[in-house]
Amino acid sequence: MRKAILLCIFIIHSIIGMCQQTVITITAYGAKPDGRSNNTSAIQKAIDDISKKGGKVIIPAGYFLTGGLYLRSNVELYLEEGAVLLGSTNRLDYTKGDGKLALLTGYNLTNVAITGKGTIDGQGRELVVNLYELLNKNLIQDPEWRIKRPTEANRPMILGLEKSKNIRVSGITFKDASGWVQNYQNCEDVSIDHIRVESVAYWNNDGIDIVDTKNVSITNCFINSADDGICLKSEDKAGSCENITVKNCTIRSSANAFKIGTGSMGVFRNIIVENLTVYDTYRSAIALETVDGAIIEKVKIKQVQATHTGNAIFLRLGHRNTDNRYGILRDVLIQDVRAEIPASKPDAGYPVEGPLPKVPPHNLIPSSITGLPGHLVQNVRLENIMIVYGGGASKTKAFVSTDSLHLVPEQIPNYPEFSMFGELPAWGFYVRHAEGIEFSNVKLSLVKEDFRPACVFDDIKGLKLSGVESGNATTKPVWILNKVTRPVLTEVKSSFSEPESLKIQ
């Protein structure tokens, strides 16, 4: 009875606390919705004042221009419908402080939220124009900009949170960053729901970056980005991305849709991805990459629908780091994937297209699972996969003989992406240096003819193929097993008879 009374008192106090939540509107501090006046001081004062008691800062309908702002603990920034928070187009209006260079910065915060139905517009194109002007005048220093582009350290993100807990972002539209759109680094307990990202203003516009962060939920989001859509990274050997859930998201990207890596130093564990819709994406719908010594394990990905995408599945264990640490890629389940891979460039016509591969001319590239000699990708199961390839390969463009599989380059230290090997001797799947590989109910097909076999398995310890089909393969053999131990093949079908379709070397 006593416990019940105490519980009722707690609930009543909680309700009273919510009803008494402090609310401040930025116009009360002099902010002007004209899209021209710099409202940095007014908005920052509202955030600072509300943080003393905790509460909500309201951005009402209108266009509010601001430079960099510092978020505070126990503050919810709420954008009403029709509200647009405009990032300044003067690069000097952004300072790094303790956190990342961003329009909205937070460091060592607890209980912070960005919610509502409004838009946060980084005005990335205009901001980069100003950045180039400042670089030309030597007002800002940058070691790379004349060679490649201004570094990420000089291009503000929209949102950068570091070492913070209990983060909630919902309902908002993020538009046109000059760098990453959002970065959550060394954070815990992050909820991102029903947001929209429209950021194709410049290179490196990752939609959502989760860096060495734990307990993350990303749900019901739409992302259109000029770089990776949703990307998990690790930039610390002692860091980790753990307990990450991604569900019910739609992604278009000039790079990869869902990606683990490229920054891959610590641990990625307990990752669940469900119900992704991917379209007009230049690189891979699914990319898992460890090249800096990271462990990637216990990853489950299911229900992926990818159309007009450069590559369906790319798993890579490499060794880009200069020390003796080798990564581990193991215990991966990918199921219920439907993908259409066109013969043309899938993101052609977008403002910022993916760069052309830095490899010789090649035919359409298959999905791949690749490790290194002596460092194998382990325990990967593909189940209920259907991939349709555009085909149309030509030996005059590129050709790797299946009798010379050793000529396929290892590319051990190279940047990982699906085109890193150039021409590959298969059109459906290329699997090399792996152990415990299972394909179950995998169906591959062509729109136009391809002279290559459907699948090549090279240096594999333990291979199980069950219900694998390539009904319209035009060249035999269809399946090549080279240096494969303990193969178990059940109901492996093609348009040719079994003796003609399978070659074991």
Q: Averaged over 473-499, what is the pLDDT?
A: 86
Strands (E) in 91-239, as ranges, are 102-107, 110-116, 119-121, 157-162, 165-170, 173-175, 182-185, 188-193, 196-199, 208-211, 214-219, 222-225, 230-234
What does pLDDT average to over the chain?
Answer: 93
Smallest CA-to-CA distance from 61 within 43, 81, 77, 47 is with 81
Between 68-77, 103-112, 146-155, 177-186, the lowest mean confidence (pLDDT) is in 146-155
CA dist., res. 428 & res. 504, Å (int)? 18
- Could you write out the DSSP letters of every residue in 251-269? EEESS-SEEEEEEESSEEE
Q: Are 330 and 300 in contact, with CB atoms under 8 Å apart?
A: no
The torsion defined by the Cα of 14, 18, 20 and 22, in degrees rounded to 10, comes to 130
Q: Where are the alpha helices (DSSP H) in 429-491?
A: none
pLDDT digits (tens, 9 = 90+) for 186-234: 999 999 999 999 999 887 899 999 999 999 999 999 999 999 999 999 9
Cβ-based burial of 440 (10 A; exposed 0-12, middle 13-18, buried ≥19) = middle
What does the block give as tokens for 463?
A: 């291979």
Smallest CA-to-CA distance from 481 within 410, 441, 432, 444 is with 432
Q: Which residue has the higher pLDDT, 173 or 8?
A: 173
User: Dihedral of CA 380/299/338/375: which sign?
Assistant: negative
* pLDDT exceeds 50 at position 330: yes
Radius of gyration of the chain (CA): 25
Query: Measured between alpha carbons, how far is residue 383 from residues 313, 387, 460, 464 in Å?
Result: 13, 12, 18, 12
CA dist., res. 71 & res. 112, Å (int)? 8
Q: Are 208 and 229 in contact, with CB atoms under 8 Å apart?
A: yes
pLDDT digits (tens, 9 = 90+) for 345-404: 898 888 878 888 888 899 999 999 999 999 999 999 999 999 999 999 999 999 999 999
Q: What pLDDT score was predicted for residue 476?
A: 86
User: Dihedral of CA 392/396/401/406: which sign?
Assistant: negative
* pLDDT exceeds 80 at position 487: yes
Smallest CA-to-CA distance from 301 within 331, 265, 267 is with 331
Q: What pLDDT score was predicted for residue 235?
A: 96
pLDDT digits (tens, 9 = 90+) for 249-261: 999 999 999 999 9
* pLDDT exceeds 60 at position 313: yes
What does the block give as tokens for 476?
A: 């035999």
> What is the chain's percent helix, strand, coil content, to nearest 5?
10, 50, 40
* pLDDT exceeds 50 at position 10: no
pTM of the full predicted structure?
0.94
Q: Are 306 and 334 in contact, with CB atoms under 8 Å apart?
A: no
**Residue with structure tokens 């960005």?**
114
Query: Measured between alpha carbons, how far is residue 7 from residues 18, 19, 332 in Å?
Result: 17, 18, 44
User: What percentage of residues in the chain have a pLDDT greater than 90?
Assistant: 84
Q: Are 231 and 209 in contact, with CB atoms under 8 Å apart?
A: yes
